[in-house]
Structure 1
Amino acid sequence: MLRRTRRTLWIVAVVVLVLAAAVYLRFKAPPEAARLLPESDGILYMNVGLARTVMQLMHTPLKPITKDPEYQKFVDAVGFDAERDLDEAAIAMHRMDNPNGPNGPVAYSMVLEGKIDGKKLAAWLAAHATSQESYEGHTVYGIPSEGRTVRVAQIAYDTVAVSNFPSTEPIHSILDRHRTAALPFSGSTLLAEHYSEMPLLSVAWGMGQIGLPLGENGQIHIFGMGLPIPASSTFLASVHWAGGLKVRVEEIADSDATASQQAADLSLLLTLARGATAGLGANPANNGLKELLKTATVTQKRNRVVINAVLPKTLPAELANGDGAGSQF
């Protein structure tokens, strides 16, 4: 009897440990929407549902967005309004070899999760598609848009994949990854390399190499100052909750010397920005921008440059509501 009791206790202990390990891995794993993304040059993710909750906690409700007439027709037909029904959005960015092509410098592949009426969505897609393909038990619809084809597939009752990449490869990859989505650390190379560096409770985050035509001679010009962005640098960015919304942007440069120069340029830019915004008129958006710049810091450690700042309570809502800061600038 005693031996049987011990064996039972061992079995219970093992089961508890396995369940605890599974919960821990799930907690540390990237969101499923991000894990489904194909290989890419950059990733953006936003937990829209969490963002709504944070805005409510900060008592900063968003104003209803004025919809484009064509989008309103889609909302009326399908019953899906991103402003209300979207819960998560993960976007993979693909750098195009020909920036002057139909996709411009970047193509995208997205995984969207939310409250979706699958039957209504399928009916709308079938009515607007110029092509259909069956892949891995899913229908991939080809929708013409501005000289390119946008491919759409519903991959679960609450999940949709979208890609405007010139070939079917990215959306096929999303459908392939969906079969192994239960594995907590599956995902693209970029996600595997850098997701562990994202802060907990991140409302939104991004990672990847910019490497895009950002301006003359590969520079961004702000306040008359050219800020070089090396194509080889990897950027990690997040907006996370830590008693308030905090912003963190980190550049991983190709050398310590490059990072040192970037830190010096960014510190100078921050000083110029503070001076340039000092005379802005008093309104919630401008006041929020000034407070954001006031809290911003630039630090460097080896080949990494980090910018930290605190988002003022009113700024996210003002920007999202279209009341752009610096309107008098």
Structure 2
Amino acid sequence: MLAVAIFLRSKAPPEAARLLPESDGIVYVDLRPVRTFFRKEWKPAPHDPEYQQFIDATGIDWERDLDQAAVALHRMPDPNGPNGQVAYSMVLVGKLTGPKLRAWLASHATAQDSYGGKTIYSIPSEGRTVRVAQIGYDMVAVSNAPTTEQIHSIVDRHRTAALPFSGSTLLTHHYHEVPLLSLAWGVGQIGLPFNESGAIQVFGLQLPIQSDSTIIASVAPELPLAGALKVRVEEIAPSEDAAASQSAAISTLVDLAKGATAPLNDNPANRGLKDLLKTAEISQSHNRVVIKAALPPSFFASLAAGKNISQEQTTSSEEPPSQH
């Protein structure tokens, strides 16, 4: 029985994702291996005063202490309403809990409620209410949904977290399609945050994919391990004809992007982008459009280089001018 339980757990979604409420989309990231990729290049970021006050008060530095993040996306009925297009519910895992965080939450909350033995803190933020609860020794639940239903659901699911296949309808329907060993993945309508007039728009480029399309996306290590990651994005189109049309349109966009990036200067960021586009493959299988690409080591080096340059510029701007 123990062996069966261990096997089932190995096939189950991560616990943080299983705790999420019903939603339109789910995104999950395991930051522990990501830190391994960036260990050599990534320098600690300078903190703005407000964030430094949070670190001093709680002892929590998100960049250092957050290990996993599972995010549920909730489509709002009125995208122009006070709650915007999308609300979020999150389960965060890491060295994040304790009396210091509890004290910080209590000092910033406008209301506190008890539910399922957990204290839920209501904190105003940008015209919305963010609800936060410490639900485990290393887990924090957060939701900016208009009602308490979502964070209550997380607390309820935490009680049955030991069941390996508990979780939302989205996980039941699509998690089995997520490749094994994925460091980051998303299922459902994960294009909602990028919605522009009903289509997904990224970096100013409108993709021929509707924002409410069902997508299964993943980032997993290339095997055998060679420092690269493989990216896979699969869209479930309404029909085979729609999939064929979208596949052709995306192929054209990739070709245009390759041509546009060819004359760019040879720096780490441009090199990483060119290498990514070079490996891009688009295919169609029945009513599904599949996009595959590889994130080479140069891509990560470009991200780290960009971050470090930004940090150096920030640091130099804070230094007082030399006096002669």
TM-score between the two structures when normalised by the length of structure 2: 0.88
Deviation per CA, 1:141-200: give whole Å up to 9, x if none.
001111111000000110000000010000000000000000001001011111111111
Relative to structure 1, is the Cα distance of residues 149 and 225 closer, same or farther in structure 2, using a 3 angstrom cutoff?
A: closer
Q: In structure 2, the residue corresponding to 1:99 is in which secondary structure?
A: coil
CA contact (8 A) 1:240 1:246 kept: yes
Which of 178, 187, 198 is 2:178 aligned to? 198
**Equivalent residues in 2 for 1:1-329, closer than 5 Å:** 18-56=1-39, 60-209=40-189, 210=191, 214-216=195-197, 218-220=198-200, 226-242=206-222, 243=225, 244-319=228-303, 322=306
Give the partner amino acid of 1:215.
E
1:7 corresponding residue in structure 2: none
Q: In structure 2, the residue corresponding to 1:83 is in which secondary structure?
A: helix
Give the partner amino acid of 1:277.
T
Deviation per CA, 1:48-94: give whole Å up to 9, x if none.
112212444xxx53232333332221111000111101110000011
Q: Provide the C-alpha distance between the structure 2 equivalents of 1:152 and 1:222, rounded to a whole number of angstroms.
A: 30
Deviation per CA, 1:3-22: give whole Å up to 9, x if none.
xxxxxxxxxxxxxxx12111
Q: Provide the C-alpha distance between the structure 1 equivalents of 2:163 and 2:293, rounded to a whole number of angstroms.
A: 34
Deviation per CA, 1:246-303: give whole Å up to 9, x if none.
1111101111111101100000001000000001101111001001000010011001
Q: In structure 2, the residue corresponding to 1:102 is in which secondary structure?
A: coil
1:3 corresponding residue in structure 2: none
Structure 1 alignment gaps of length 5 or more: 1-17, 325-329
CA contact (8 A) 2:269 2:302 kept: yes
Q: Provide the C-alpha distance between the structure 2 equivalents of 1:221 and 1:54, rounded to a whole number of angstroms.
A: 28
Give the partner amino acid of 1:24.
F
Q: Provide the C-alpha distance between the structure 1 equivalents of 2:236 and 2:296, rounded to a whole number of angstroms.
A: 27
Q: Provide the C-alpha distance between the structure 2 equivalents of 1:87 and 1:221, rounded to a whole number of angstroms.
A: 29
Relative to structure 1, is the Cα distance of residues 160 and 117 closer, same or farther in structure 2, using a 3 angstrom cutoff?
A: closer
1:99 Cα offset (Å): 1.5
Q: Provide the C-alpha distance between the structure 1 equivalents of 2:233 and 2:96, rounded to a whole number of angstroms.
A: 33
TM-score between the two structures when normalised by the length of structure 1: 0.87
Q: In structure 1, the residue corresponding to 2:90 is in which secondary structure?
A: strand
Structure 2 alignment gaps of length 5 or more: 309-324
Q: Provide the C-alpha distance between the structure 1 equivalents of 2:123 and 2:204, rounded to a whole number of angstroms.
A: 42
CA contact (8 A) 1:232 1:253 kept: no
Indicate the structure (1 or 2) with the bigger Cα radius of gyration.
Answer: 1
Q: Provide the C-alpha distance between the structure 2 equivalents of 1:73 and 1:28, rounded to a whole number of angstroms.
A: 41
Give the partner amino acid of 1:313.
P
